[in-house]
Amino acid sequence: MNTNSGTLRQTYNELLEFKLVLSKAGSILAASQNHATPADHELDEHIYDKEVDDGNGYLLEQGIHQGASESGVRFVSGIILKSKALAFERMLFRTTRGNMFFNEASAGEPVMDPSSGEEVEKTVFVVFFSGEQAKAKILRICASFGANCYPVPEEIVKQRQIFREVSSRLSDLEVTLDAGTQHRNKALESVGSQLWRWILMVKKEKAVYDTLNMLNFDVTKKCLVGEGWCPIFAKSQIEDVLQRATLHSNSQVGIIFHEMDTIDSPPTYFRTDKFTNAFQEIVDAYGVGRYEEINPAVYSVITFPFLFAVMFGDWGHGICLLLGALFLILREKKLSSQKLDSFTEMAFGGRYVILLMALFSIYCGLIYNEFFSVPFHIFGKSAYACRENSCSDAYTAGLVKVRDPYPFGVDPSWRGSRSELPFLNSLKMKMSILMGVSQMNLGILLSYFDAKFHKNALDIRYQFIPQLIFLNSLFGYLSLLILIKWCTGSKADLYHVMIYMFLDPAGDLGENQLFWGQKELQILLLLLALVAVPWMLFPKPFILKKLHKERFQGHSYRFLGTSEMDPDSEPDSARSRHDDFNFGEVFVHQMIHSIEFVLGAVSNTASYLRLWALSLAHSELSTVFYEKLLLFAWGCSCRVNIHGP
C-alpha cells in the first residue's frame, strides 16, 4: 500500500508540475509572441546588462517572426526550486556565453518534494536558445540542478487541450489517493489490535532459531546436541528447567543432560550480587583470571574504597557522599526500572562502591581531623597550649606540649601552624608508602596460596620466595625505617639512608643511624636483593627443560604440576607435548616476568605516592575554598577552630 501510494503521489506531483509549467510557460510564450513583454520589464527581472538583453530580445523577435524551423530558435521549459533559480540562471548564462534568453515566473502554489515530503516553493522557467549543442548543455545543467523539464507546444490550442487532460488526470488521482489513504487506515486499525501478538511471536521464533544455531546435529541427524559450560551449583537448576521445558512442549522424547569429560580449561565465572557486582566489574576491566585462580575482587571490596578515602579524607565531604549513596540505595527499585542517562546509570551501578567510599572517607577524615578543612576537638583537648597567657599568636609560635598526645587522629593544633604543611606532607607520604608496600606484599602472598592450591612447587620456590625477598629487602626495609622513626622520634633523613644504601653500602650512617647493626643489615638486604633477581630468572626455565627431556626419554620423575607444564594453562606457557615445548619461548617469558616485577616494584611504590599528592591537594583546595571564599564572603578574617566540650 505504501509503495502504491508513493508511486501515485510521485505521478500526482509530476502532473501538478506539468500543469503549472503549461500555465506559466504558456503565458510567457503568448506574451512573447504578442510582444506583450516590454523591454523595461525584462531588464528588471534578469541579471544581464542592457546589451545582452537587447541581443537576446532581438534573437527572440527574429525567431518568432521567422519561426523555429527557419531561424533554429528553440526553447526548453520546466520547473525548479525557487532557491536555486538565480544560480541556475547564472550557470546557463555562463555556459552558453550569453546566447540564450531566460524567463521565469513563480509557480503560484507550493509543490510537495517527494524526497523530504515537505511542500516547497518552485519557479517555472523558459529558456530560449539556438543550436543542438546549446540544448544538450542546457539539459545537462537542468539535470544537475534537479530541474524537471516538461514539453510545452507553441500552439495555444494544443496547450489548452493538454492542460484540460492534465487537470482531468489530477482530479482522478486525487480521488484515488484519498481512497487509498482511507483503505490503508482501515487496514492499520484492523492490524493494530493484533500487532503486539505478532511481535511477540516473531521474537519467540527468533529466540528459538538463535538457540538452535548454537546446537549441532548428531550422527543420525535425528536429534540436536548442545555443548556448553555451567557452574557446578547450577546443574540441578538446569536439569529442572529442561524437565519443565519437556513437559510444557509436550515432547515425546526427554532431554538428556550429560556431564562430559574434556581437557579444555573451563571459563572463569564469579558469582556476584548487587553489592559485589561493581567491584567485580572494576577488576575485570584490568583482566579476568584463569579458572580456579584467586579472585582479587574480594580484597578490592575493602582496598579500593579505602585508597579513595585516603585521598578524599574529609568527614564533611564524606557525609555529603554518604547522603548521595543512601539516596541511590533507598530508591534502587524505582531507579532500576527507569531508563537513566549515562552519568546517572554509572553512579547507580556503583552505589555500593560510593557507600563504602563515603564511610571510609568519614573514617579518614576523622584521622586527618578535617571537616570541610576545619579541625574539631572531638576526642578531647589538644596536647599543645600557649607557653604564656600573653602569647600574641597561639597558632604560629609559642606552643608547647602540656598533656598526653591527642587520642585519635591529627592534633587540631597542627592546623594553621608554621609546621602544618611539612608535618602533613611527611605523615601522608610515609603512610602512602606503608600502604603501598602492604598491598604489594598482599599480592605476593596471594600468588603463594594460588600456587599452593595448584601444587606448583616451581612457582613457590622460584617466583614467590625471590619476589618476597626482593620487595622487602628494599621497600620493606624502608617501611621498617619509617615505623622506627615514628616510634623513636628520630630526625634521621630516610632519603639519605636509602640513596647511600646503594651508593655507599659500607659508609658511616652518622646521625642517620636508627638502630644498632643497621649498616650490616643494609649490606645483607642489598645482597639478598641482588641474588633474588637471577633467582627469579634462570632456575625455572632450565628445570622445566630438564623435566621435559626426562619425560620424553622415559625416565620416571615426580610431576610437579607447574602452570608451565599444565596443558590447561595459558597458551604462551610450556606444554606437555613435545612439539609445543620451546625453551627459548619459556626463557623469554620468564625474563619478561622477572624484569616486569623488578621495575614494577619500584614504579608501583612510587605510584602509591599519588595517595599523598591527591590527599594534600584535596586538603589544600578545601582550605583555600573555606578561607578565601567562605570567610571572605562572610567578612571574617579570623581562623575558626571549634572546641568540643
The answer to which of 36-45, 576-585, 634-643 has the lowest mean pLDDT is 36-45
pLDDT at 60 over 70: no
Check residue 553 and give its pLDDT: 67
Sign of CA dihedral 308, 311, 312, 313: positive
Among 152, 182, 212, identify where a domain stops.
Answer: 182
Average pLDDT of span 593-610: 92
The burial of 505, by beta-carbon neighbours within 10 Å (0-12 exposed, 13-18 middle, 19 or more buried), is given as middle
Judge whether 492 lies within some domain. Answer: yes
C-alpha cell of residue 442: 598482599
Indicate the residue among 182, 216, 241 that finishes a domain.
Answer: 182
C-alpha to C-alpha distance for 544 and 551, rounded to whole angstroms: 11
Least confident of 159-173, 449-463, 518-532, 542-556: 542-556
- Mean pLDDT for the stretch of residues 251-274: 87
Count: domains in the chain: 2
Name the DSSP class of 288: P
Last-in-domain residue among 163, 182, 201:
182
Q: Give the pLDDT score at 398.
A: 58
- 202 in any annotated domain: no
- Report CA-CA distances (Å) from 612 to 246, 363, 414, 434: 62, 17, 18, 11
Cell of 540: 625455572
Q: Look at residue 397 and tell me whether its pLDDT is greater than 60.
A: no
* Cα separation of the two ends of the chain: 85
Task: Report percent pLDDT > 90 for the chain.
Answer: 32
Q: How confident is the model over 623-634, as pLDDT tens digits?
A: 888 888 777 777
**Is the pLDDT reported for residue 67 higher than 70?**
no
What single-letter DSSP state applies at residue 639? P
Residue 278 lies in a domain: no
221 domain residue, yes or no:
no
Q: How confident is the model at residue 68 (pLDDT cuts 50, 70, 90)?
A: very low
Q: 468 in helix, strand or coil?
A: helix
Which residues form the domain of 13? Answer: 1-34+72-182
Residue 501 lies in a domain: yes
Q: pLDDT tens-digit profile of 87-105?
A: 888 888 888 888 888 888 8
| Cα distances (Å, whole numbers) of residue 46 to 39, 84, 94, 168 | 11, 15, 14, 35
Q: Which three cell numbers stand for residue 495?
A: 632519603
Give the pLDDT confidence score for residue 114 in this predicted structure.
67
Q: Domain for residue 382, yes or no?
A: no
Q: Please say if the pLDDT value at position 641 is more than 90.
A: no
Is residue 115 in a domain?
yes
Backbone angles phi, psi at 312, to 5 degrees: -115, 30
Measured on CA atoms in the order 579, 580, 581, 584, is the torsion positive or negative?
positive
pLDDT digits (tens, 9 = 90+) for 75-87: 888 888 888 888 8
The answer to whether residue 481 is domain-embedded is yes
> Which residues have C-beta within 8 Å of that of residue 146, sequence separation ≥ 6?
80, 81, 84
Q: Which residues of 8-38 are buried (b: 16+ CB within 10 A; e: fewer)?
A: ebeebbebbbbbbbbbbbbebbeebeeeebe
Nine-digit cell string for 172: 482522478
Q: Which among 174-188, 224-238, 350-364, 375-389 has the top mean pLDDT?
A: 350-364
* Predicted structure pTM score: 0.64
154-158, 418-422, 496-500, range with greatest mean pLDDT: 496-500
Beta bridge partners of 124: 79, 105
For residue 53, the model assigns a pLDDT of 40
Question: Residue 252 pLDDT more than 70?
Answer: yes
- Residue 72's pLDDT is 65
> Confidence band (pLDDT; 50, 70, 90) for 257?
confident
Please check the confidence at residue 205 and state whether its pLDDT lies above 80.
Answer: yes
| Domain harbouring 103, CATH code | 3.30.70
Q: Which amino acid is at 512?
A: N
Q: Please tell me the least confidently modeled range out of 45-54, 234-243, 501-510, 567-576.
A: 45-54
CB 45 within 8 A of CB 106: no
What would the mean pLDDT of 518-543 be, rounded to a whole number? 93
Half-sphere exposure of 593 (CA within 13 A, CB side): 21
pLDDT at 299 over 50: yes
